[in-house]
Structure 1
Amino acid sequence: MRIISWLITNAVALAVAAQLFDGIRFTGPIHGQEEIKHKLLPLLLVALILGLVSATVKPVLKLISIPFILLSLGLFLLVINAAMLGLTSWLADGLGIGFHVNGFWTAVGGSIVITIVGWVVDGLIGPEDDRR
């Protein structure tokens, strides 16, 4: 059950970021039922890729970047989160999913939105123990 809530949280956060930033987009129709039909599976796949990248690559980058994180008082974590979103975009493009992030600053803004929306959705869903 936890993996489903995790996937939904990532998908909602990605959808919000894609709505707020022109540089974060999914290819396909842009209005109505056709948009939902064509973008739901890619959204879930990109959420899965983002989660896997964040679970595998991000801890290694954080470990290597500890001096930069400390010197910047944690702001370097924004760069790491943006890099994870950029890597997700690159992997999704390589797999033919049709998800694109244009530019570093768009990735920074998108990663901030994804983090905040993820916190909010997790707060609304509640802890794992409360869902039984």
Structure 2
Amino acid sequence: MNFILKLILSAVAVIVLAKILPGVGVDSYVSALIVAVVLAILNAIVKPLLVFLTLPATIITLGLFLLVINAAIILLADYFIDGFRVNGWLWALIFSVLLSIFQSILHSILKKDKS
């Protein structure tokens, strides 16, 4: 149940950010939910592999290269999902940073409600 709620909150975050950011678009609520599911899958499977393969770059940049990996994950989701559009690396980077912040806020509110 908690996983489904997190997916729904992620979909809400995708919708809000798509409305705010001109370089990001989502066609429908269903597309936003699909984006949330695909991002969860990519973050679980592809991201650890990318982090491992780029570990030297991540260490040299003191972790900042993880932002590039997150942007690549967003662009990969853009490639796979028809109803989701990101116009380039810069918008993917901005979207990934804001999505992380937005999700952190929503999840912290969710944890406070359970306490």
TM-score by length of 2: 0.92
Give distance in 1, aligned partners of 2:62 and 2:69.
14
Please list every run of 5 or more consecutive structure 2 residues that lacks an aligned counterpart in the other structure: none
Q: Secondary structure at 1:126's aligned position in 2?
A: helix
Q: Flag structure 1 segments of 5+ consecutive residues without an equivalent.
A: 28-38
Letter in 2 for 1:9: L
Task: State the match for 1:15 in structure 2.
Answer: 15
- Secondary structure of residue in 2 paired with 1:25: strand
Residue in structure 2 matching 1:89, options 73, 78, 85: 78
Q: Which amino acid aligns with 2:102?
A: V
Aligned residues: 115
The root-mean-square deviation of aligned C-alpha atoms, in Å, is 1.6
Q: Decide which of 63, 66, 91 is 1:77's aligned counterpart.
A: 66
1:102 aligns with 2:91: no
Shift of 1:20: 2.0
Residue of structure 1 in register with 2:101 after alignment: 116
Mapping of residues 49-88 of structure 1, within 5 Å: 49-88=38-77
Alignment match, 1:5: 5
Write out per-residue CA displacement over residues 16-40 of structure 1, whole angstroms, 9 at most, x where no aligned residue: 221221111023xxxxxxxxxxx11
Specify the structure having the higher radius of gyration (Cα). 1
Partner Cα distance (2:64, 2:89) in 1: 15
Q: 2:34 aligns with which of 32, 35, 45?
A: 45
